[in-house]
């Protein structure tokens, strides 16, 4: 094997270690994860097929159901333990390290690709997203395939547009910010369509690939379309409202003011995409580095003898579309929103460092920058055992089940920092048993209420202004017990039972 291939082996081993070490005791299992595994378990246990996926955190829109179906076989293998889908996500992230090199070398060359794989392997943000199950987490894998497919569509065959369309169809079911991949692909498609004026013989193949890509994309939306038709276009109306609301702050501005506001926003979005997820929020340093990276990119793009210029053009296009698109969005942009941009970002880093390393001073600068990257990320790897693990949640849920008679209707309320009052992580273990709690639409039928207080609040939890507690007819606890190093649980019971 070559030196670079040996380096790849080291990256896979190191990246795999960071993604799998102490996995069970560090597994993040909050309300969103509980909700997802409840739905996925119902698919194979109750044959309850779903047409929609999770609801978005903003806009009240539903994603597609693909991630739920992805979870099903892995949850089936580990059931009732919810760790199966999380292991699958970790495996996909390790595969992404490999593809960052294997596909990236066709886009930016071997050296830049191995550096891109290095940044992805040891990014603490990428590592954190690889260690639990959540719909945005597989996005980097689809993104590197998407970038490679677009590159191949330009250089090899227009049929790669079909693969790019498939990646888009999956990405937007993971998170709607990935809709930015549509204009990315659209601009590449337009460039290829323009070239057909000189190559008319390729028109039929190009049109056929375009038609298949469109059909595939529309077919992927079929479950959501069916859901919308059955529910008075709920998703479509939510999307319209979300777009209208996000533009409200700009309504009173003139066109020139709107442009100025958006351009100003590109600075912060660029810093976030490039550096805040890699070396933290250091605005002055990040601004200097941003100027340096963009200057290096422009210089590399102007060099006609650069054999990787087409790949760099595509990466630059992805950067421009992403920054402009995110600049029009007025809400907060969280790291998981932009996880699909990690491959493009890290390949750009790899390309720039490869280019500057041609000179001695550049090599020294590259080493310093890699040192800054590792210095910020190493302390942030999520490898330490959590204070409250998924196994302890399962054991706590069992104490609830031990206090429920067969056929008895009950419900649980969670008081925690996560603000998930329905305690869907605990609900999962309860639903996985033969004594499941009542569903949300049956809350009024519950004769027992378990208040799981993870914070051990110094107040009377039976008097908290939470609807399920307020409407429960009896506020006098029949039992209050405490789990060692865990929550305090208050049990309420209707008097006539």
Residues 6 or more apart in contact with residue 127 via CB below 8 angstroms = 15, 18, 19, 93, 381, 382
Residue in 413, 409, 435, 436 with CA at minimum distance from that of residue 424: 413
- Nearest Cα to 178, choosing from 350, 352, 348, 344? 344
- Please name the residue that has the structure tokens 């996985």: 432
- Count of helices and strands (H, E) across the chain: 23, 4
**Per-residue pLDDT tens digits of the chain, which is 497 residues long:** 799 999 999 999 999 999 999 999 999 999 999 999 999 999 999 999 998 898 876 667 889 999 999 999 999 999 999 999 999 999 999 999 999 999 999 999 999 999 999 999 999 999 999 999 999 999 999 999 999 999 999 989 999 999 999 999 999 999 989 999 999 999 999 999 988 876 666 788 899 999 999 999 999 988 888 888 887 788 878 777 766 665 555 555 666 666 677 777 899 999 999 999 999 999 999 999 999 999 999 999 998 788 899 999 999 999 999 999 998 887 788 999 999 999 999 999 999 999 999 999 999 999 999 999 999 999 999 999 988 999 999 999 999 999 999 999 999 999 999 889 999 999 999 999 999 999 877 878 899 999 999 999 999 999 999 999 999 999 999 999 999 999 999 999 998 65
DSSP state of 55: B
Residue carrying structure tokens 């495996």: 91
Query: Could you tell me where the DSSP H helices lie in 134-254?
Result: 139-155, 160-174, 181-195, 203-220, 222-230, 234-247
- Only one residue has tokens 């760790």, namely 83
- 347: tokens are 């390949």
Cβ neighbour number for residue 331 with a 10 Å cutoff: 12
How many Å apart are CA 255 and CA 295, to the nearest integer?
29
CB 287 within 8 A of CB 267: yes
Q: What is the pTM of this model?
A: 0.93
Q: What are phi and psi of 450, to 5 degrees?
A: -105, 120
259: nearest Cα among 325, 322, 328: 328
Beta bridge partners of 493: 448
Look at residue 236 in the predicted model and tell me its pLDDT.
79
Contacts of 395 (CB under 8 A, 6+ apart): 483
Both structure tokens of 354: 């490869």
Structural domain boundaries of the chain?
Answer: 3-380, 390-493
Cα 363 to its chain centre, rounded Å, is 34
User: What is the sign of the dihedral through the CA atoms of 411, 415, 419 and 423?
Assistant: negative
**Pair type for strands 479-482 and 488-493:** antiparallel
User: For residue 244, what pLDDT is reported?
Assistant: 61
197 token code pair: 């004026």
The verdict on whether omega for the bond into residue 80 sits within 30 degrees of 0, i.e. cis, is: yes
Q: How many CA atoms lie within 13 A of 213 on its CB side?
A: 24
CA 466 to chain centre: 31
User: Contact at 8 Å (CB) between 71 and 37?
Assistant: yes
| Residue 250 confidence (pLDDT) | 52
Nearest to 25 by CA among 380, 454, 379, 384: 384
Predicted pLDDT at 59: 60
Q: What are the DSSP calls for 328-370, one per residue?
A: T--S---GGGGGGGHHHHHHHHHHHHHHHTTSHHHHHHHHHHH
Please answer whether residues 301 and 316 qualify as being in contact, where contact means their C-beta atoms are separated by less than 8 angstroms.
Answer: yes
């Amino acid at each position: 094997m070559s030196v670079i291939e040996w380096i790849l082996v080291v990256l896979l081993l190191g990246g795999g270690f960071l993604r799998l070490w102490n996995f069970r005791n560090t597994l993040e299992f909050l309300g969103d994860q509980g909700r997802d595994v409840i739905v996925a378990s119902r698919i194979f246990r109750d044959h309850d097929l779903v047409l929609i996926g999770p609801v978005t955190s903003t806009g009240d829109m539903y994603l597609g159901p693909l991630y739920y179906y992805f979870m099903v076989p892995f949850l089936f293998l580990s059931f009732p333990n919810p760790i199966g889908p999380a292991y699958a996500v970790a495996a996909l992230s390790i595969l992404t390290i490999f593809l960052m090199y294997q596909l990236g070398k066709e886009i930016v060359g071997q050296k830049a690709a191995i550096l891109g794989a290095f940044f992805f392997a040891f990014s603490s943000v990428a590592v954190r997203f690889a260690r639990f199950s959540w719909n945005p987490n597989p996005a980097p894998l689809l993104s590197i395939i998407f970038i490679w497919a677009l590159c191949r569509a330009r250089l090899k065959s227009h049929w790669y547009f079909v693969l790019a369309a498939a990646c888009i169809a999956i990405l937007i079911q993971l998170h709607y910010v990935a809709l930015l991949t549509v204009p990315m692909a659209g601009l590449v498609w337009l460039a290829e369509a323009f070239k057909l004026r000189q190559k008319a013989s390729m028109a039929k193949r190009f049109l056929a690939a375009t038609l298949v890509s469109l059909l595939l994309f529309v077919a992927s939306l079929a479950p959501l379309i069916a859901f919308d038709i059955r529910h008075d276009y709920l998703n479509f109306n939510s999307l319209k409202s979300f777009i209208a609301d996000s533009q409200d702050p700009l309504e009173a501005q003139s066109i020139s003011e709107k442009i100025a506001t958006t351009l100003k926003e590109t600075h912060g979005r660029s810093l976030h995409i490039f550096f805040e997820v890699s070396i933290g929020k250091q605005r002055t340093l990040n601004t200097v580095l941003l100027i340096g990276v963009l200057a290096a990119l422009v210089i590399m793009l102007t060099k006609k003898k650069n054999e990787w210029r087409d790949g760099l053009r595509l990466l630059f296009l992805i950067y421009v579309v992403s920054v402009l698109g995110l600049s029009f969005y007025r809400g907060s942009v969280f790291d998981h929103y932009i996880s699909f941009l990690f491959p493009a970002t890290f390949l750009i880093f790899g390309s720039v460092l490869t280019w500057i390393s041609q000179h001695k001073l550049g090599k020294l600068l590259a080493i310093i920058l890699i040192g800054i990257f590792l210095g910020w990320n190493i302390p942030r790897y999520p490898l330490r055992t959590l204070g409250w693990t998924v196994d302890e949640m399962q054991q706590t849920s069992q104490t609830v089940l031990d206090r429920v008679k067969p056929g008895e209707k009950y419900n649980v309320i969670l008081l925690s920092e996560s603000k998930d009052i329905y305690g869907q992580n605990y609900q999962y273990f309860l639903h996985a048993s033969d004594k499941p709690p009542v569903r949300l639409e049956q809350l009024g039928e519950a004769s027992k209420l378990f208040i799981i207080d993870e914070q051990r609040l110094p107040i009377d939890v039976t008097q908290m202004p939470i609807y399920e507690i307020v409407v429960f007819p009896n506020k006098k606890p029949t039992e209050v017990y405490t789990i060692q190093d865990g929550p305090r649980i208050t049990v309420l019971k209707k008097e006539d039972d």
